[in-house]
Structures are given as C-alpha cells and as structure tokens.
Amino acid sequence: MSEILELINRGKYNEALKRIKEEIEQKKDDPELYYLMGLVYFKIGKYRRAIDNLRKAIRLKKDEAKYHCLLGYSLYMEGYNISDEKLIRRALKELQLSLEMDKDLPNKEKKYYYYMANILYELEDYEKALEKVNKALEIDDSSEVHKLRGDILFQLKKYNEAIEEYKTNLNDDKNLYAIAYTYFTMGKYDQALEYFNKAISANPEDPYYYQGKAETLLFMGRTNEAYNTIKRALEIDPDNPYIKLTEVEILTETNEKEAIKVLTEYLEEMEEFREIVCEEIREGKFKEKTKEVIEKVITKFC
C-alpha cells in the first residue's frame, strides 16, 4: 500500500492504477484498494469513477471516516461540474458523517473545511460557509481559500472585505476579474474598468472579461466603446447567450431595430439556449429601455 501511495503522491497515476488493479485481482475484498482507486480517479478529475470505487470501499468497511470524506469531495466535484444540487447535498451529508466518525478528521484532511465551505456556498448558506472557510484558513493560507472567502463575502454584500481577499493574489486573472466585478456591483465604474483591463491583459481569451468591461463602459455612457468591446467577446464565444444579451442591451441604446433583429435571429437559430435567455429575461436584470425592446421579441419564444 505504501508504494501505491507514493506513486499517487508523485503524480504517477497510471502506474498507481496498474498496481491497484493487480492488487485487486488478489484481494477483491480489500476496501483500502478501492479507496486508493477512488483517490486516483479523484486526482485526475474522473469523479464518477471515484464515486463508484469509494462506494465499493464503504460497502466493505462502512465506518471508515476517510472513505466518506473523499466520497463527499467527489460528490461535490461531480455535482458542481454538472450543476446537480442533489449530488452537492449528498456531499454535505457524507462530510458530516465523516466528522461524526472521526472528530479529529479536519486535522488529518487539510481540505475538509475548504470543501465544506464550497458545498455550503453552492447551497447558498453563506453565513455557515464563511464560518467554515475561516476554519479552512487556519489550516491552509492558500490563495484558493482566500478566493473562496472573497466569493462568500461578496454574496454577503461585504464588498470591501471581499476585495481585500481577492487582492491577496493579484497574479491570478480570476482575482482581477472578481475585483472588477465587485467594483462594478458597488457602482465604482472607474475602478471596475481598471481591473477589467488588468484581467484582460492577464488573460485576453476569456470572453467574460470583455463582457464585464462592456457593461461597465455602457454604465459610464461610453456606448461605442462598449459595443466594440462586446464584439470582441463574441469573436471568442459567438453563441454565448449571456454575452449575446449584453450585445442586445448595448444596441438598445443606439439602434433599437438592430437590437430587435439581433435578438430575434439569435432565438430563432439557437433553440438550445432559449431557456437560458428566457430565464435571464424573467429575472429582469436589464435597464427599462432594454426590457421594452426584449418584450417585443420574447412572447414568441418564452
């Protein structure tokens, strides 16, 4: 087992899998082997396979806390990737169960509170998520934990505190974008524009950075610049429904007929994205003028 663990720790996952499978041929009822198989699949991002193997391990040994803990991590990642709230809720139950089995588990599993905070964040229980991420920071002062704390604080509308968390790592374009979006939410458009530009400089291929910049320019009354910026986003991701709606919103300020034409053609051609567009419209995230234009189109599609 120690040799297999060493292979996993060194990132030699294919070799580790080969060794585990060889061992399973001889020891089909050894739960630790299925746990290690689950660990490898978790490490390489194959969460469904990790879940299957961890369930085998638990069937063979139900009271092993680390099995339930890793199953919780895997359920969360799979649920997050496919937007399945049921899986995320099951992840929460597994992590709670693992802690009941071993009260000292967070000291053995460095990521326990980090994953717990992520799960609670996705379930929109932000106060509890903040409590858990604070505990995570006591164990792991990494940039990803600070980023998560910033995201939680943002949802709690503690914007200045969120920005301070994001500023702990200004080499990450996602943090630069998060700062920009927070300033935008606060109505501080000059600062927002500064950080959207920094995010774009760090990663010029993310369309959402241009979208955020375009929305900022629109609110600053710089409509032509906003339109040119959103066209750059559409060059990167031409069928994206969220970016297309931003284009429509900008067009309503300068060319209402063109805005109606663009939205109508998009909804006719992109049937697979209609529900997303309709949901965004129902949530009413637009200026009054944009809403008036949209209402002339949506009755046919929504």
Contacts of 271 (CB under 8 A, 6+ apart): none
Which pLDDT does position 2 carry in this prediction? 83
Contact 125, 82 (CB under 8 A): no
User: Is residue 111 included in any domain, yes or no?
Assistant: no
92: domain CATH number is 1.25.40.10
Question: Which amino acid, one-letter code, is at 111?
Answer: K
The band of 108, judged by pLDDT with boundaries at 50, 70 and 90, is: very high
Give the three-class secondary structure for 45: coil
Which pLDDT does position 284 carry in this prediction? 66
Average pLDDT, the chain: 94
User: Is residue 114 included in any domain, yes or no?
Assistant: no
User: Is residue 19 included in any domain, yes or no?
Assistant: yes
The count of other CB atoms within 10 Å of the CB of residue 89 is 15
Rounded Cα distance between 40 and 32, Å, is 12
Rounded Cα distance between 248 and 270, Å, is 15
Which pLDDT does position 291 carry in this prediction? 75
Average pLDDT over residues 156-176: 98
CA triple 259-262-267, angle to 5 deg = 125
User: Is residue 279 included in any domain, yes or no?
Assistant: no
How far lies 118's CA from each of 87, 89, 94, 121, 170, in Å?
13, 12, 14, 5, 22
User: Is residue 61 included in any domain, yes or no?
Assistant: yes
Could you tell me the residue range of the domain that residue 86 belongs to?
1-105
For the stretch 57-93, pLDDT in tens is: 999 999 999 999 999 999 999 999 999 999 999 999 9
For the stretch 123-157, pLDDT in tens is: 999 999 999 999 999 999 999 999 999 999 999 99
H/E element, 32: helix 31-43
For the stretch 246-288, pLDDT in tens is: 999 999 998 888 998 999 999 888 888 888 887 887 776 677 7
Number of domains observed in the structure of the chain: 1
Residue entry with tokens 């292979």:
7
Instruction: Report CA Rg, the chain.
Output: 23
Quote the distance between the C-alpha of residue 34 and its chain's center. 28
User: Is residue 41 included in any domain, yes or no?
Assistant: yes
pTM of this structure: 0.90
Rounded Cα distance between 298 and 193, Å, is 32
The band of 299, judged by pLDDT with boundaries at 50, 70 and 90, is: confident
User: Is residue 144 included in any domain, yes or no?
Assistant: no
User: Is residue 92 included in any domain, yes or no?
Assistant: yes
Give the three-class secondary structure for 13: helix
